[in-house]
């Protein structure tokens, strides 16, 4: 703060005239101490100490309102002579460091340091600490302190109600404490509260995997009533368990080892130094919604397999299949590797499920991809791909009429499911679902990602990928001669140039040098006509054909002739049956006997031995209809008809 002011600077202040001439006349009349103004313009400057009190207070408030507050410092800004200090204060307590202070203690310390900075400035202006202290005390009582210092006094007092005044004794005490250390201005936090005696007894009941409530544990504890232990109220127990004790202690026993990892320290992995396709993560996700099966139309949970690039968070490949299978994984990996803009990853990171299968591991080995697995029972290790399931596939599932997530209303879901089972209503078609997945993936890759920060800028996965390409990254693509490496494969033993698979045997004479050796046989799941045979080192041996060494027992012409003969004889037999059926349709005439054996006649319930006289004059029309005769007629009825 300054010690000298010109008339122009005093105009309009409390106790001053409204013009420079009025201020000069007042100075001459009241005998203010003055000196010749330094620098250009000449004139006079008047001493701060000669000005009226109200003017001084206004100058203090104005100057400090425009002055930035200094941070607390270890060195006191003013040294107080012993003769000016009050006799004094109690022995100061042990001074803590800044790191040991709590937030509210640091806030009060800074407020007191701000008030003492005003005392230091006034000491230089008024000449003595006593005058400065008295001036600050008077200004606080009259309310003429600047808003900054008024607020500092309220916070420095640390009292309920926010007292806006400060006494000279308090200011002297603060000055003494600051002479020891600026951190001594912080108030004492008081003794730490000891842990209650009931805590160990309570935790013995509370740390249970059944997760009993606090109230239930207190009821059990009251029934046991440990001797000499005062039990708390439910509110007090809740405060200790939920707010004061570490969760690593309270949740021990209530949570298993895997679950407790979510509240324990962890290592955050960064992507610094990674290029695209250095590491890809993959995971299969049972979609939380029903769609129609592409063949049967029945409702199914489709399996979505996703590959994501760790460096750019871009989804580089995915597949949709009717169920979880090795084929679904193969489809997704094939989409990744066959894309010339993506190429072959260097490292393949996954969980320990189907990705440990022999077929998948052989495929990665042939492509030169290093396979890494997350630790069992530790889903946080594959958190990038797990988050994709929550942020991409789960919101998409919620758009389906038959969403089946945990938060779906059970009553509405059952009603929709029953309707879908009866009529197919609400089941999205397989092709429509695949198209919806493609749109969702494209939208995700174009959306800004929270982990892709470049300063204040946030990039989308597509933008991060494009930036890497601009910086010189190029994909490692697969040559056309190596496309057979993408096929799923099995390891089989070659016997007499044959390699078997469950649906047939593949043959090639080029396999003769590999008799008795183990070979890799790759196949196209949708086309079993050919198979690609490779040696143990992955070199392609040949393309074998299904049943290439099979031939018929007889020449084809002989077989065709035999088939023709068999067909001709069958036609003759059918013609004879037709003639016999036509003959049976003609009724017998009087005195005429039917041609054929007696056993060919309909059974009428009496003897069929020859008679010297005709027995029948005509066959009833009903007898010619085999459907009309369900049982032999009675002899008396036949005689009556005759």
Domain hosting 13: range is 1-45
Angle in degrees, CA 257, 263, 264, rounded to 5: 75
Q: Do the Cβ atoms of 288 and 356 come closer than 8 Å?
A: no
% pLDDT > 90, the chain: 13
Same domain, 37 and 57: no
pLDDT tens digit sequence for 428-452: 898 899 999 999 999 999 998 888 8
Where helices occur in 31-76 by DSSP H, the ranges are 53-65
> Is 263 within the bounds of a domain?
no
Same domain, 446 and 317: yes
pLDDT tens digit sequence for 85-127: 433 334 445 667 777 788 888 888 888 888 898 888 888 878 8
Query: Between 30 and 590, where is the model more confident?
Result: 30
> Is 380 within the bounds of a domain?
yes
Same domain, 442 and 509: no
Same domain, 72 and 27: no
Strand 34-36's sheet: what is its strand order? 4-6, 44-47, 34-36
| Prediction pTM value | 0.51
Same domain, 176 and 248: no
Q: pLDDT value at position 443?
A: 93
Average pLDDT, the chain: 77
Same domain, 22 and 59: no
The count of domains in the chain is: 5
- Last residue in a domain, options 30, 45, 60: 45
Same domain, 18 and 83: no
> Is 427 within the bounds of a domain?
yes
- Last residue in a domain, options 427, 443, 470: 470
Q: Do the Cβ atoms of 74 and 182 come closer than 8 Å?
A: yes
Residue 80 above 60 pLDDT?
no
> Is 420 within the bounds of a domain?
yes
CATH number of the domain where residue 423 is located: 3.30.420.10
> Is 27 within the bounds of a domain?
yes
Which of 232, 223, 227 minimizes the C-alpha distance to 199? 232
536-563 CB burial, b ≥16 within 10 A, e <16: eebeebbebebeeeeeeeeeeeeeeeee
Same domain, 287 and 160: no
Question: What is the average per-residue pLDDT within 301-315?
Answer: 91
> Is 608 within the bounds of a domain?
no
> Is 271 within the bounds of a domain?
no
CA distance 172 to 166: 11
Same domain, 68 and 176: yes
Which two three-digit tokens encode residue 91? 């022995």
Q: Do the Cβ atoms of 276 and 241 come closer than 8 Å?
A: no
How is 448-511 classified by DSSP, letter by letter?
Answer: --TT-EETTEE--HHHHHHHHHHTT----PPPGGGGGGGS-EEEEE-BTTEEEETTEEEE-GGG
Alpha carbon of 323 to those of 118, 401, 490: distances in Å? 76, 20, 21
CA distance 421 to 409: 18
Question: What is the average per-residue pLDDT within 334-345?
Answer: 87
Q: pLDDT value at position 552?
A: 67
Q: pLDDT value at position 495?
A: 92
> Is 539 within the bounds of a domain?
yes
């Amino acid at each position: 703060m300054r010690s000298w002011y010109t008339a122009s600077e005093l105009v309009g202040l409390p106790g001053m005239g409204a013009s420079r001439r009025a201020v000069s006349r007042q100075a001459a009349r009241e005998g203010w101490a003055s000196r010749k103004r330094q620098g250009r313009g000449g004139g006079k400057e008047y001493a701060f100490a000669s000005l009226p009190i109200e003017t001084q207070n206004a100058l203090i408030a104005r100057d400090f309102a425009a002055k930035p507050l200094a941070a607390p410092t270890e060195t006191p800004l003013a040294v107080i002579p012993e003769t000016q200090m009050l006799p004094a204060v109690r022995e100061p307590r042990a001074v803590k460091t800044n790191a040991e202070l709590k937030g509210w203690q640091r806030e009060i310390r800074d407020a007191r340091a701000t008030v003492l900075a005003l005392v230091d400035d006034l000491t230089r202006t008024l000449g003595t600490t006593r005058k400065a202290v008295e001036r600050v005390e008077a200004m606080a009582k009259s309310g003429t302190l600047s808003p900054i210092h008024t607020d500092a006094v309220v916070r420095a007092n640390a009292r309920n109600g926010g007292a806006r005044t400060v006494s000279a004794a308090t200011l002297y005490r603060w000055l003494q404490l600051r002479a020891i250390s600026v951190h001594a201005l912080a108030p004492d936090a008081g003794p730490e509260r000891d842990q209650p005696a009931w805590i160990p007894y309570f935790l013995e009941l509370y740390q249970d995997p059944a997760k009993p409530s606090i109230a239930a544990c207190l009821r059990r504890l009251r029934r046991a009533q440990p001797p000499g232990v005062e039990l708390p109220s439910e509110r007090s127990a809740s405060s200790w368990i939920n707010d004061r004790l570490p969760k690593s202690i309270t949740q021990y026993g209530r949570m298993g080892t895997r679950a407790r990892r979510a509240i324990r320290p962890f290592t955050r992995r960064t992507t610094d130094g990674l290029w695209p396709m250095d590491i890809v993560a993959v995971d299969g996700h049972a979609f939380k919604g029903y769609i129609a099966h592409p063949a049967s139309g029945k409702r199914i949970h489709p399996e979505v397999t996703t590959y994501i690039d760790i460096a750019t968070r871009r989804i580089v490949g995915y597949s949709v299949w009717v169920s979880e299978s090795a084929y679904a994984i193969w489809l997704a990996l094939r989409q990744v590797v066959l894309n010339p803009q993506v190429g072959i990853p260097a490292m393949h990171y996954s969980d320990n499920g189907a990705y440990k299968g022999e077929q998948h591991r052989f495929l990665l080995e042939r492509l030169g991809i290093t396979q890494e697995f997350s630790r069992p029972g530790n889903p946080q290790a594959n958190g990038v791909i797990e988050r994709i399931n929550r942020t991409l596939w789960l919101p998409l599932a919620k758009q389906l009429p038959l969403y089946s997530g945990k938060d779906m209303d059970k009553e509405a879901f059952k009603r929709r499911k029953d309707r879908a089972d009866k009529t197919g209503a609400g089941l999205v078609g397989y092709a429509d679902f695949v198209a919806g997945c493609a749109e969702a993936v494209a939208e995700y890759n174009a959306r800004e990602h929270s982990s892709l920060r470049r300063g204040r800028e946030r990039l989308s996965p597509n933008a991060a990928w494009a930036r890497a390409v601009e910086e010189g990254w190029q994909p490692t693509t697969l040559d056309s001669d190596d496309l057979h490496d993408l096929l799923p494969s099995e390891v089989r033993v070659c016997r007499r140039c044959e390699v078997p698979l469950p649906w047939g045997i593949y043959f090639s004479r080029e396999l003769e040098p590999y008799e008795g050796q183990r070979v890799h046989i790759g196949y196209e799941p949708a086309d079993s006509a050919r198979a690609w045979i490779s040696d143990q080192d992955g070199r392609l041996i040949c393309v074998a054909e299904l049943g290439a060494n099979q031939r018929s027992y007889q020449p084809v012409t002989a077989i065709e002739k035999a088939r023709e003969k068999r067909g001709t004889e069958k036609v003759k037999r059918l013609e004879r049956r037709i003639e016999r059926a036509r003959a049976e349709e003609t009724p017998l005439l009087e005195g005429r006997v039917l041609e054929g054996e007696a056993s060919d006649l309909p059974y009428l319930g009496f003897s069929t031995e020859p008679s010297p006289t005709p027995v029948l004059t005509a066959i009833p029309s009903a007898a010619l209809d085999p459907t009309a005769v369900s049982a032999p007629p009675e002899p008396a009825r036949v005689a009556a008809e005759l």
